[in-house]
Amino acid sequence: MPHRVLQLDEVAAHLHLSAEDVRRLIRDGEIPHEIRGGRPIFRRIEIDAWASQRILGMKADRVAAYHSRTPSTVANRLADLLDDSLILPALTSRTKASVLRDLAAVVERAGLVHEPKVLIESLVERENLCSTGLPGGLAIPHPRHHHPWLFARSFLVVGRCVQAIPFGSPDRRPTDLFFLLGCQEDRLHLRTLARLCLLAQQTALLETLRAAADAAAMRAAILAAEREALAAAALAKTPKGRLL
């Protein structure tokens, strides 16, 4: 239920943080919450949007730290979310609105969304809240609301535009690569979002995707980058300090 109210211990588990991490965020005024009966409460719909945006804005070391803290029960590999039919190597979209529609159309054709209109509306709501564009020409659009009933399964759609388009990236440069992420479970969403950011920051994935010949080569590049990043993470110590 997207409008569910969470207690402190519940929001800590939801975000893969310690209770002290959440208390620190409250003290610093960094996490949306209300005080009811002398105790903090959190609205899940606000927490999901807040957490997604925090992950998108993280530097590589904090992305790695957050990713390492998420439990293995939601550690699905990208191969479970992606197949060649969900990759568009030559998107002709020319605007933000059209690229969202074109990516959502792939999901609809694959039979993965039960309410296509709801998906598009939620994607637009999320972008209106704050752009999912990242430096380097990548964007990771995703629904604002995580309705378990909306999707037949979790998925990742990859699109490469023929011509880069303005998408609200913080570096103000146009965007040509898009990962549309749709997850039935919000914990999987946060975990996968962190992993995609990790690949973009710690591997040569973006340039490899731009040079890939076709959908199969793009999928192979993503899976190779994932293997590289996970191997590096296994060798490294978990970075210390703040996570979200």
- The pLDDT of residue 82 is 94
Domain ranges, residue 181:
72-235
DSSP string, 193-241: HHHHHHHHHHSSHHHHHHH--SHHHHHHHHHHHHHHHHHHHHHSPPPPS
Three-state secondary structure call for residue 181: strand
Is 46 within 8 Å of 3 (Cβ atoms)?
no
Residue 133 and residue 51 share a domain: no
Residue 185 and residue 164 share a domain: yes
Residue 88 and residue 45 share a domain: no
- The pLDDT of residue 198 is 92
Look up the CATH number of the domain holding residue 118: 3.40.930.10
Residue 160 and residue 106 share a domain: yes
pLDDT tens per residue, the chain (244 residues)?
A: 455 899 999 999 888 788 999 999 999 999 999 999 999 999 988 888 888 888 988 877 777 777 776 655 444 689 999 999 999 999 999 999 999 999 999 999 999 999 999 999 999 999 998 899 999 999 999 998 877 889 999 999 999 999 999 999 999 999 999 999 999 887 788 889 999 999 999 999 999 999 999 999 999 999 999 999 888 877 765 555 555 6
Residue 126 and residue 11 share a domain: no
